[in-house]
Amino acid sequence: MSELNLRAERLDAADALAPLRSRFALDDVVYLDGNSLGALPAHVPDRVADVVRREWGELRIRSWTESGWWTAPERIGDRIAPLVGAAPGQVVVGDSTSVNVFKALVGAVRLAGDDRTEILVDATTFPTDGYIAESAARLTGRTLRALTPDEVPGALGPRTAAVLLNHVDYRTGRLHDLPALTAAIHAAGALAVWDLCHSAGALPVGLDEHGVDLAVGCTYKYLNGGPGSPAFLYVRRELQPRFDSPLPGWNSHAEPFGMSPDYAPAPGAVRGRVGTPDILSMLALEAALDVWDGVAIDAVRAKSLALTDFFLECVSAYTEPGRLEPVTPAEHGRRGSQVSLRCDDAGEVMKRLIEAGVVGDFRQPDVLRFGFTPLYTTFADAERAARILGSLLR
Amino acid sequence: MSELNLRAERLDAADALAPLRSRFALDDVVYLDGNSLGALPAHVPDRVADVVRREWGELRIRSWTESGWWTAPERIGDRIAPLVGAAPGQVVVGDSTSVNVFKALVGAVRLAGDDRTEILVDATTFPTDGYIAESAARLTGRTLRALTPDEVPGALGPRTAAVLLNHVDYRTGRLHDLPALTAAIHAAGALAVWDLCHSAGALPVGLDEHGVDLAVGCTYKYLNGGPGSPAFLYVRRELQPRFDSPLPGWNSHAEPFGMSPDYAPAPGAVRGRVGTPDILSMLALEAALDVWDGVAIDAVRAKSLALTDFFLECVSAYTEPGRLEPVTPAEHGRRGSQVSLRCDDAGEVMKRLIEAGVVGDFRQPDVLRFGFTPLYTTFADAERAARILGSLLR
């Protein structure tokens, strides 16, 4: 047994979060793709079966009230809120991330007022954010400028309406400085909209603390909500009364069953709802969030950094120099919960790695991406993944 | 046993669709709310369990390709297409009805061109359509006029961009004349957008035959897809190359995994997709559609009319004159698959009816609404519901 192997054993033995792994349905595969699709929490299948057989099958329409379906979007929002540093009543769940980016960005532009005519968007972001930002700009008559997060402070001005940024870059794993960028955006009088897809459930976000205006995020990555589980929308409490959604569906009406032809928006986070929520996906997510009970996000972050540090050390030990180039920043303050490695033939390498029982993913054009989910990833996983990767590259 | 009771028995015995009832999880309740939430098809729980335990739990990320998750929206769209009279490649599933109304209406306005400055919307429609139409008008710089479907032909003109209509009124059950209204809209050079929430799966729609431009509909009513199952969007094939969605998410990109910062829309129905689809709800819907195998929508319509005729006859026989006033048109050509009855104290009456094992629903301010789902509603159900209603009102 190698030294790194022994180190992994000791680190796992000392890991206070280690018992959480048993809450998930896992097997011998080293699953380092929880940043694409989180693993299945072991109790979720029974809960989903109950939703389908009893709540839908037996109670049918009565479940909208008796099983709490109607209030699920805001109830589940309040479960997610502490994980992103939000007090209750500011997060609502529903729709996809893309649709929520649209609500948030159009809402932000309207909050900024008519004399602020430019939207700034992260050019390095997951592309859907840029596409939706372009649509939001077109529909609100604003111009759109794409630039790197580092360029944002220098680009802000009296014309800036809103800035849409990713907290963690999906490709490089780089963590952006949410407090500093939000403060700079506010100093220019603009609104900060953050996409938390790659940070929610992976590290502390501090939405309330840093005064973020609006935020969106997905729930199927580090929150383990299941494939395509609904996204969330955060609207800071002070802004809610003026939040003017471009998707004012009947679910966000102050009196949804009044069936009035006139729209009157509900107060609070509910204002971010649109149409009928997809209950099966939503209640699977609600159950999945049970694994977070009693888990502090700071402990998750500490383990995440220890895991990615250790993985990088193992990669360095097991791989010939020059074969892999880390693109994720080494500095803790700039690292998310993933490690991306540039590699020739990355697509082919990832294919062979998956065949060898280590699941990460490949991102165009040459990136191997490994996600570390502190709730279930072990140090032994990190060591084994690096060892197999090293042997494949030899 | 009464004469109506015997008639019900004979009608059920002669009903070619009667065996379909056994494909659903039903009990002694007379369930006449399938127009709010369709009953659970009996095989769906096993399929959902497999999706959760094996596809998510074991295959995890591999299921996006190996379990066909990625292509589910267009594959399921093609399952729905024949039920609404559409050839393959024109229907895609995903998002809520409200979100799809937004895509369809903004898309229609853009297709109509800049010199067409007015949107017409059904004033009697389910309110979300009106709210979303108002948002679409505001964001595209069009005016919006709400009017009854009967007033539409007289209101059309060279400024009309698009008309959003409900095929069946959710409250009264009135069926509007889709072929004639679509033809009138086209004669004015405008686009026809139809909301099929209360007709898809209940009666023939004939989207292709009547040249409808865009349509949306929900799948949790007569299509029995489950609570909040994703809605569908139809874009007529000829319009697809010019369909310009206001929600251009990465799922509608021509090369979604290219991760290009520039948006290039996919061809075909896929262009109506937005973000990551909610797989659990979507695959429950896909399984639910199995009950339609070999079922002709014309047979469904014939049974629906026979059921609602018979129910009205029973109501008339069992209820004191003047106590209930049918608001659903008696004429077959103007009747959907529901019967709405105006009633004093409708809210209280429906509450007691549900306690007595007959589930319909109450719509503000004074309407008892009974939905007839030909796949599982029996003539005995219709007789029993009318009989219990009559006795409650005495």
Same domain as A254, residue A181: yes
Q: Which two tokens stand for residue A93?
A: 């769940």
- Same domain flag for A316 and A271: no
**CB-based contact A280 B227, cutoff 8 Å:** yes
Judge if A195 and A116 occupy the same domain: yes
Pair (A186, A256) in one structural domain = yes
Residue B379 lies in a domain: yes
pLDDT digits (tens, 9 = 90+) for A24-59: 999 999 999 999 999 999 999 999 999 999 999 999
Query: Of A238, A260, A292, at which residue does a domain stop?
Result: A292
Is the residue at B310 inside a domain? Answer: yes
Would residue A31 count as lying in a domain?
no
Give the CATH number, domain containing residue B27: 3.90.1150.10
pLDDT at B203: 98
Residue A1 has pLDDT above 70, yes or no: no
- The span from the CA of A185 to the CA of A173, in Å, is 23
Domain that holds residue B376: 3-31+295-393
Starting at the edge strand that comes first in sequence, how are the strands of the sheet with B367-371 ordered?
Answer: B324-326, B338-343, B367-371, B361-363
Last residue of a domain, one of B257, B292, B327: B292
- Is residue B20 located within the same domain as residue B97? no
Q: Which residues contact B101 (CB under 8 A, 6 or more apart)?
A: B128, B129, B132, B133, B164, B193, B195, B216
Q: Are B150 and B195 found together in one domain? A: yes
Query: What is the sign of the dihedral through the CA atoms of B165, B166, B171 and B174?
Result: positive
- Number of domains composing chain B: 2
Q: Are residues A135 and A246 in the same domain?
A: yes
CB contacts, 8 Å: B221 with chain A: none
Contact A389, A353 (CB under 8 A): yes
Could you give the percent of chain A with pLDDT greater than 90? 96
Which residues in chain B are closer than 8 Å to A255, comparing Cβ atoms? none
In the residue annotation, A221 being an active-site residue is answered as yes
Determine whether the interchain pair A249/B282 forms a contact, defined as Cβ–Cβ distance below 8 Å. no
| A229 and A321 both lie in a single domain | no
Judgement on whether residues B177 and B279 belong to the same structural domain of the protein: yes
Per-residue pLDDT tens digits for B2-53: 899 999 999 999 999 999 999 999 999 999 999 999 999 999 999 999 999 9
Q: Does some domain include residue B320?
A: yes
pLDDT tens-digit map of A266-321 = 999 999 999 999 999 999 999 999 999 999 999 999 999 999 999 999 999 999 99
pLDDT in tens, B100-109: 999 999 999 9
Residue B1 is predicted with a pLDDT of 63
Active site members of B: 126, 195, 220-221, 369
B118 pLDDT band, cuts 50/70/90, is very high
Q: Tell me the pLDDT tens digit for each residue of B172-193.
A: 999 999 999 999 999 999 999 9
β-pairing verdict for A324-326 and A338-343: antiparallel
Residue among B52, B229, B249 whose CB faces A128 most closely: B249
Cα-flanking dihedrals φ and ψ of residue B135, to 5°? -65, -40
pLDDT at position B243 over 80: yes
Q: Answer yes or no: is B138 within a domain.
A: yes
Q: Do A353 and A226 belong to one domain?
A: no
CB distance A76 to A234 below 8 Å = no
- Does residue B40 form part of some domain? no
Taking 3-state DSSP, the helix, strand and coil percentages for chain B, each rounded to the nearest 5, stand at: 45, 15, 40
- Domain containing residue B93: CATH number: 3.40.640.10
Q: Indicate whether A26 belongs to any domain.
A: no
Checking if the pLDDT of A376 tops 90, the result is: yes
- For residue A338, pLDDT beyond 70: yes
Contacts of B280 in chain A (CB under 8 A): 48, 226-229, 278, 280-281, 284
Residue A208 lies in a domain: yes
Select the more confidently predicted residue: A236 or A125: A236
Q: What percent of chain B has pLDDT over 90?
A: 96
The answer to whether residue A125 scores a pLDDT higher than 80 is: no
**Domain final residue, candidates B292, B319, B334:** B292
Whether residue A168 sits in one domain with residue A151: yes
Which residue among A36, A95, A253 places its CB closest to the CB of B99?
Answer: A95
Residue A167 sits in the same domain as residue A246? yes
